[in-house]
């Protein structure tokens, strides 16, 4: 699973979706409608996707039944990471508007076109999108303090314990030790490397550092609860 290395915007300002259908449509091209999302495809693209989806979904259903897969309470909490690549190769670009971005007001709402994808928004939702983009700064720096790093752990739904390390200060910050479940360690490493931390092995521990702070990563097989940010006793 991918990790978040910079939270640019998050809010709950959207209206409930007006569209609650999944259906296919043949018009100037072939369209797959799923709620507010529409995918536009040529006939060749549709045939490739239909064939691949049929094979991949059958494989996935078999895996879910075998492992008794259950939804997690949070989308960030899933430990399984199954990717099925059967017949997955597509053309380099879609045959339908491969380079286009367009924002339109139509009789059924606002349409945001991104390549061959179309998202339908009502007036309240287009204002929510406008507000999100207005307050978004993609150039904001990556986490540069341990407190920023903790916020990223929480954003990614990582459960962890926290304790101090007796060691030298790093430009005003103590090195810290975090303890995470072994199943989530790979996600934590991706977060740390994603924000520019460099890792190394020291006395059988994993230490990741930036100019401003350092984190020692330790693993636990015990069930963890989210840290309050206070050192463990």
- Find how far residue 208's CA is from the centre of its chain: 22
Q: How far is CA 95 from CA 23, 34, 71, 87, 90, in A?
A: 21, 20, 35, 18, 11
* Residue bearing tokens 């091209």: 29
pLDDT reported for residue 171: 42
- Tell me the C-alpha distance between 229 and 162, whole Å: 7
Per-residue pLDDT of the chain (233 residues; tens, 9 = 90+): 689 999 999 988 888 888 899 999 999 999 999 999 999 999 999 999 999 999 999 999 999 999 888 887 655 555 567 888 888 888 888 888 999 999 999 998 999 999 999 999 999 999 999 999 999 999 999 999 999 999 999 999 998 998 766 555 444 455 789 999 888 889 999 999 999 999 987 666 789 999 889 999 988 866 555 554 444 43
In this structure, what DSSP letter does residue 49 have? H
Q: Sign of torsion, CA 100 105 107 109?
A: positive
| Entry pTM | 0.76
Please state, in angstroms and rounded to a whole number, the distance separating the CA atoms of residues 202 and 190. Answer: 19
Euclidean distance between CA atoms 92 and 95, whole angstroms: 9
């Amino acid at each position: 699973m991918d990790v978040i290395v910079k939270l640019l915007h998050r809010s709950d300002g959207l209206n409930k979706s007006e569209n609650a259908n999944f259906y296919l449509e043949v018009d100037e091209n072939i369209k797959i409608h799923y709620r507010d999302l529409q995918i536009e495809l040529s006939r060749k693209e549709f045939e490739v996707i239909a064939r691949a989806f049929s094979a991949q979904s059958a494989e996935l259903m078999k895996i879910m039944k075998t492992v008794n897969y259950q939804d997690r309470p949070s989308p960030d909490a899933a430990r399984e990471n199954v990717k099925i690549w059967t017949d997955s190769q597509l053309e380099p670009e879609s045959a339908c508007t491969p380079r286009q971005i367009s924002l339109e007001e139509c009789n059924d709402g606002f349409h945001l076109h991104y390549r061959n994808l179309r998202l339908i928004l009502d007036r309240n939702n287009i204002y929510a999108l406008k507000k999100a983009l207005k307050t978004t700064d993609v150039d904001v720096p990556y986490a540069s303090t341990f407190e920023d790093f903790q916020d990223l752990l929480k954003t990614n739904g990582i459960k962890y314990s926290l304790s101090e390390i007796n060691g030298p200060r790093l430009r005003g910050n103590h090195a810290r030790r975090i303890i995470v479940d072994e199943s989530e360690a790979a996600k934590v490493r991706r977060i740390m490397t994603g924000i520019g931390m460099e890792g190394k092995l020291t006395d059988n521990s994993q230490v990741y550092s930036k100019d401003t702070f350092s984190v020692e990563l330790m693993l636990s097989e015990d069930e963890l609860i989210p840290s309050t940010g206070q050192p463990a006793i």
